[in-house]
Chains A and B, each alone.
Chain A
């Protein structure tokens, strides 16, 4: 049997120092809930490196290809238009004219794709039910989540109190 312990802090620096202390004792911190990004906390609790950048690259590549394929169809294949005498029979020779739109569409796809992926992965899309352990973490409190064996529970709670936690809750995992 293991328990989930929620230690609440009211200051991000106290939380950061607390997390360092807990981790140095060999206890794994599962997650930290915070109303704003706490600098350095991801290194301390050992969050895996985000793979959002890989997604962003794929979305960007998709946007770029879509823009180029689209413009090739609209402007070269389907209805070639003579704009200022620019070559309208070749995508490559007319490329400079297409670069601004390609750039914008790449940024568009990357930004929207990243935002949606981020919200989907965190389960925070509009209409999804919030999963944070305590609603106060969206206001001015910070919560550290730790999974421990029942036998070690008392020891960990004592340690957390020592680091300056203002409130400690637990529930069965």
Chain B
């Protein structure tokens, strides 16, 4: 059975983009007299921060799906094989999301925006030409110069090298997974499967480093004076659950179209369990990071939390409670995890809530006390969502919805629950 990307679905993705543009424009018009914090965090800065936030979020959705796909090979799992094609479709956004992020980094290095304080060459200069001390000099950033740059000024070379190296390798893995999946349909046998396992094992090792490094480089370095050792896993848990929710939503959509009848209650139940469990992984990491910093109360560590608790308290705690309490209360029961409607509602709410979580990592750091998560941000979210769904559904339509010669296909179809 094949999925055809109907004109109705195309119209829906277009509608999302148009609604996004309208909300975006409305937000801009309503905020035309908005008082921003200072000249460095004005409207331009806001739009760049939103581009980074939304770009990273949807990059993360496909990154989470890619991780999950690799995990299935390494653990030799059978239960996801019947909907493996959905994961393969979600990862098609990965190169595009990476392109958006690369664009933001390069624009920053070209001084088109000031999201990253360390991209300012002045902070590395201790003494001015006339021998006086440089007031813009920042000794902490200067000590981190070699983490970001090749030289001791703001060229960003080492960061770019890492980004291109890791993301390039991940794109290669993603494209290889997609190519070999079709190849396996045609050829059969287990040769490709074992090749995939080996590649996935290598990918997971690289992912372990790469996911953390990308989170530090792109998001933690916005608060360049600050560091948190579990920041990478915290961001990773957020992108993992977003990827799972996207998979569930696409699966439910396809079943509502009368497709994928081979996906049974047990498969849905397994995905529901992931959504439930990952919510706790995320909450655990969020709380572990928050509590230790709150308890130790060391000035250099608390600074980002002080900024968030002062001006973004409502958003921070609402988002945290929604991401924690909603799955806990509604998905605790085994039967609840099998109900598609409930999974869809809870999934969409915490998907948006995880988006807010990511914006709260970026906006308070770049917009200071005057940032907000309003119509402009949400409009851009809808634009990205529309484009994301267009790309993913198009990829989904391009190949059969069920793999043919995967060695675990029969086991997956007859999953016992």
Complex alpha-carbon distance, A40 and B296, angstroms:
51
Residues of B280-294 whose CB lies within 8 A of A: 287, 290-291, 294
Q: Mark A61-97, 1 if CB is under 8 A from B, else 0.
A: 0000000000000000000000011100000000011
A: interface residue count bin:
10 to 19
Complex alpha-carbon distance, A53 and B287, angstroms:
26
Complex alpha-carbon distance, A167 and B294, angstroms:
67
Residues of B325-349 whose CB lies within 8 A of A: 332-334
Q: Out of B296, B333, B416, which one reaches A39, CB within 8 Å? A: B416
Are B291 and A84 interface neighbours, CB within 8 A?
no
Is A99 an interface position by the 8 A CB rule?
Answer: yes
Report the count of interface residues on B (CB-CB < 8 A): 11
In chain A, what residue has the closest Cβ to B294? A96
20 pairs across A/B with beta carbons < 8 Å? A39-B416, A40-B416, A53-B333, A53-B334, A57-B332, A84-B295, A84-B296, A84-B297, A85-B297, A86-B295, A96-B287, A96-B290, A96-B291, A96-B294, A96-B295, A97-B291, A97-B295, A99-B287, A99-B291, A100-B291
Q: How far is the CB of B323 from chain A (nearest CB, A)?
A: 16
In chain B, what residue has the closest Cβ to A85? B297
User: Which residues of the other chain, A, contact B334 by a CB distance below 8 angstroms?
Assistant: 53
Q: Mark B253-290, 1 if CB is under 8 A from A, else 0.
A: 00000000000000000000000000000000001001
3 tightest A-B contacts by CB? A96-B291, A96-B294, A39-B416
**Taking beta carbons and an 8 Å cutoff, which residues of B are in contact with A?**
287, 290-291, 294-297, 332-334, 416
Complex alpha-carbon distance, A172 and B416, angstroms:
37
Q: How far is the CB of A106 from chain B (nearest CB, A)?
A: 12
Complex alpha-carbon distance, A57 and B294, angstroms:
30
User: Which residues of the other chain, A, contact B290 by a CB distance below 8 angstroms?
Assistant: 96
User: Which residues of the other chain, B, contact A97 by a CB distance below 8 angstroms?
Assistant: 291, 295
User: Which residues of the other chain, B, contact A100 by a CB distance below 8 angstroms?
Assistant: 291
Q: How far is the CB of A25 from chain B (nearest CB, A)?
A: 24
Q: How far is the CB of B324 from chain A (nearest CB, A)?
A: 11
Residues of A6-51 whose CB lies within 8 A of B: 39-40
Complex alpha-carbon distance, A99 and B284, angstroms:
11
Q: How far is the CB of B60 from chain A (nearest CB, A)?
A: 27
In chain B, what residue has the closest Cβ to A100? B291
Complex alpha-carbon distance, A85 and B296, angstroms:
10
Complex alpha-carbon distance, A57 and B333, angstroms:
11
Q: A96-B290, A100-B291 are in contact. List 18 more A-B contacts (CB 8 A).
A: A39-B416, A40-B416, A53-B333, A53-B334, A57-B332, A84-B295, A84-B296, A84-B297, A85-B297, A86-B295, A96-B287, A96-B291, A96-B294, A96-B295, A97-B291, A97-B295, A99-B287, A99-B291
Complex alpha-carbon distance, A86 and B295, angstroms:
8
Q: How far is the CB of A36 from chain B (nearest CB, A)?
A: 15
Complex alpha-carbon distance, A111 and B11, angstroms:
52
User: Which residues of the other chain, B, contact A39 by a CB distance below 8 angstroms?
Assistant: 416
Complex alpha-carbon distance, A85 and B297, angstroms:
9
Q: Mark A124-158, 1 if CB is under 8 A from B, else 0.
A: 00000000000000000000000000000000000
Complex alpha-carbon distance, A37 and B78, angstroms:
21
Complex alpha-carbon distance, A53 and B290, angstroms:
31
User: Which residues of the other chain, B, contact A53 by a CB distance below 8 angstroms?
Assistant: 333-334
Q: How far is the CB of B363 from chain A (nearest CB, A)?
A: 23
Q: Mark A96-133, 1 if CB is under 8 A from B, else 0.
A: 11011000000000000000000000000000000000
Q: How far is the CB of A104 from chain B (nearest CB, A)?
A: 13
Complex alpha-carbon distance, A57 and B332, angstroms:
10
User: Which residues of the other chain, B, contact A85 by a CB distance below 8 angstroms?
Assistant: 297
Complex alpha-carbon distance, A40 and B417, angstroms:
8
Complex alpha-carbon distance, A169 and B294, angstroms:
67
User: Which residues of the other chain, A, contact B297 by a CB distance below 8 angstroms?
Assistant: 84-85
Complex alpha-carbon distance, A86 and B294, angstroms:
9
Complex alpha-carbon distance, A96 and B302, angstroms:
15
In chain A, what residue has the closest Cβ to B288? A100
User: Which residues of the other chain, B, contact A99 by a CB distance below 8 angstroms?
Assistant: 287, 291
Q: How far is the CB of B294 from chain A (nearest CB, A)?
A: 5
In chain A, what residue has the closest Cβ to B334? A53
User: Which residues of the other chain, A, contact B416 by a CB distance below 8 angstroms?
Assistant: 39-40
User: Which residues of the other chain, B, contact A57 by a CB distance below 8 angstroms?
Assistant: 332
User: Which residues of the other chain, A, contact B296 by a CB distance below 8 angstroms?
Assistant: 84
User: Which residues of the other chain, A, contact B294 by a CB distance below 8 angstroms?
Assistant: 96
Q: How far is the CB of A91 from chain B (nearest CB, A)?
A: 16
Q: Which of B290, B295, B296, B334 has the largest number of chain A CB atoms within 10 A?
A: B295
